[in-house]
Structure 1
């Protein structure tokens, strides 16, 4: 399958839970946050890549559960003059069609919730989404990649291997001549990596900063992937991970198998949730989690994405 070129992080807020509403659940807030693959690949740990956003409130034309109002701050009174889903569908489709294909929706628990409700809304008005649109459930992805491991933000932000750098100079020399450097130069780049948190955009001209980010990102990508593969080995055997301080990632029960988005956000980025239960905020949290684990998540998404049309819509009753 071809690599996904555009990832659309997708989240929605609804009138309630389907099982409580006889599957008549409607969308009250909708958000698409799109990022190009190349921008996800070059984003540094903790960064939000350049994105395009489409976020809007919707009038569900049915009561909003009081619990939902308490969680989101969205009420029927607030949504009374908002457009309906059918009135916003053209904008939604135009947003997707304007992205470089293949385009893949990424939603946390999307297979069981977001995708099914989105398709049910389309079915309600006898409409459809672009046939080429792909989808992937990030909950399944993070569970597959992290289950049985102890990987967290400490490994992801500090893991700058100190093993031989010779193999870094063997690939892409024609495309990246500036990367064909001496070991001394690479050592200097390692030092820059360790001090990136202290670097301000004001310290460099924009072009120089982008060039340094590309160099640093290529270094971390190749060596980090080698080390982290040990943790993702099929037999789940604990391996040593090369880092600033030689760290052993243990296959232990110290990390609870909890893959809620807010838990992943804390585990992978050491950040507390911001405006959780608001659609756009959840999309941005998800995007940052993907950036943190991008060398594993993006290939997983390529292998596991499927046409959105294969998802069965929520059946109203």
Structure 2
């Protein structure tokens, strides 16, 4: 089927399908990632507006479909630990091809055009679902669109409290003033430095959403490395940079004796490397370094911020779709308008994998 032309004109979405998948692994490690569980919450746009008006988190009229499927592929141990699903549990379940007609019938029940929404859907749910459908040589109707809530949440979630960032900075400053430093001195001796733990909002195994090696991580690592290098230079007194540059640019000659430190302009001084490591970790993981680090946009954290509740049974597809729908209702009409303006045809999504390419 030919791809639909993507238009800059907004689409007047009539129905929404909140989607979440559990899979055999992460696409960044396994391009043949397959579905083990799929959950769909289908509802008319008007039902969201009624819930907003009545100050309800969950609309009353929601069509629900949750299916576990046998992936015909080994499920990664890490995925099993997260979702609780393994090959033995799923061996009596139908394959995705067997249940696709049920999924399609559910979708076709809703007034069109329809927009499927998923958190980090552009990089995870949509390409995987598109691959599964293409593998059985099927397609969804052309009036099915999709939109990723992750960029939308970055625009709306923490904007509800515009002064929160300033309050966070003030709270951190008070904590810094009241707490002892990582390395404390007692007389002339130094205590062992405190251990710096990785914060919860940086999780390299959370469905590929916050992985090591992202641009933000690399930029921050470079910045902190340069900072530590500058700190190390400041620890050494009376460095004659011109002399060092001259030596580096001159072809070395055989010498019988090394020059004494008095002639090189260098003065030896003990460097506290443990303190440098603490400073590196503190600068790399501190929320003070960038606005992006102040907030986590994982579904769990956005849900807790918006609803002041915790997700029950996180990483079960049905639980995650309920949590995402409650976030959508909490943000309200402005998010629905964002979906109208930013959705794209589902059939234009690039497949994550094509089984023919991997034979």
Contact 1:152 1:267 in 2 (8 A): no
Which string of whole-angstrom CA distances, capped at 9 and with x for unpartnered residues, describes residues 165-198 of structure 1?
Answer: xxxxxxxxxxxxxxxxxxxxxxxxxxxxxxxxxx
How many Å separate the matches in 2 of 1:24 and 1:66?
Answer: 15
**Superposition pairs of residues 120-269 of structure 1, within 5 angstroms:** 120-146=131-157, 150=161, 256-269=294-307
Cross-structure match for 1:52? 63
Separation in 2, partners of 1:90, 1:253: 45
- Looking at structure 2, the residues matched to 152 and 18 of structure 1 have their Cα atoms a distance apart, in angstroms, of 37
Which of 44, 50, 55 pairs up with 1:36?
A: 44
Gaps of 5+ in 2: 1-9, 165-289
**Pairwise CA distance, 1:138:** 0.6
Is residue 303 from structure 1 mapped to residue 330 from structure 2 by the alignment? no
Q: Counterparts of 2:353 and 2:72 in 1: how far apart (Å)?
A: 18
Question: Partner of 1:127: helix, strand, or coil?
Answer: coil
**Partner residue, 1:162:** none
User: Which residue of structure 1 aligns with residue 243 of structure 2?
Assistant: none
Q: Tell me the CA shift for residue 258 of structure 1.
A: 1.4
Superposed CA offset, 1:69-128 (max 9, x none): 122111110100100000011111111111011111000000111000001111212111
SS of residue in 2 equivalent to 1:275: coil
User: 2: distance between equivalents of 1:287 and 1:151?
Assistant: 23
TM-score, length-normalised on structure 2? 0.58
> Would the aligned equivalents of 1:93 and 1:130 in 2 still touch at CA under 8 Å?
no
- Structure of higher CA gyration radius: 2
Instruction: Say whether the 8 Å CA contact 1:15–1:27 is kept in structure 2.
Output: yes
When residues 143 and 82 of structure 1 are mapped into structure 2, their CA distance, relative to the original with a 3 A threshold, is same
| SS of equivalent residue, structure 1 residue 61 | coil
**Number of aligned residue pairs:** 218
Q: Indicate yes or no: 2:70 matched with 1:26.
A: no
Instruction: Tell me which residue corresponds to 1:211.
Output: none
Given that 2:40 and 2:321 are in contact with CA atoms closer than 8 Å, whether structure 1 keeps it comes out as: yes
Check conservation: 1:150, 1:254, Cα contact below 8 A: no
CA distance in 2, matches of 1:97, 1:81: 27
Match of 2:12 among 3, 19, 22: 3
SS at the partner of 1:20? coil
Alpha-carbon spacing, 1:255–1:41, altered in 2? closer, same or farther (3 Å) = farther
C-alpha distance in 1, partners of 2:145/2:316? 24
Q: Secondary structure at the match of 2:22?
A: strand
Preserved CA contact (<8 Å) 1:46 1:269: no
Query: 1:136-173: per-residue Cα shift (whole Å, max 9, x none)?
Result: 001111112246663699xxxxxxxxxxxxxxxxxxxx
1:47 offset after TM fit, Å? 2.2
Shift in CA distance, 288/149, structure 1 to aligned 2, threshold 3 Å: closer
Q: Output the aligned Cα RMSD.
A: 2.2
| Residue 274 of structure 1, aligned match among 301, 307, 312 | 312
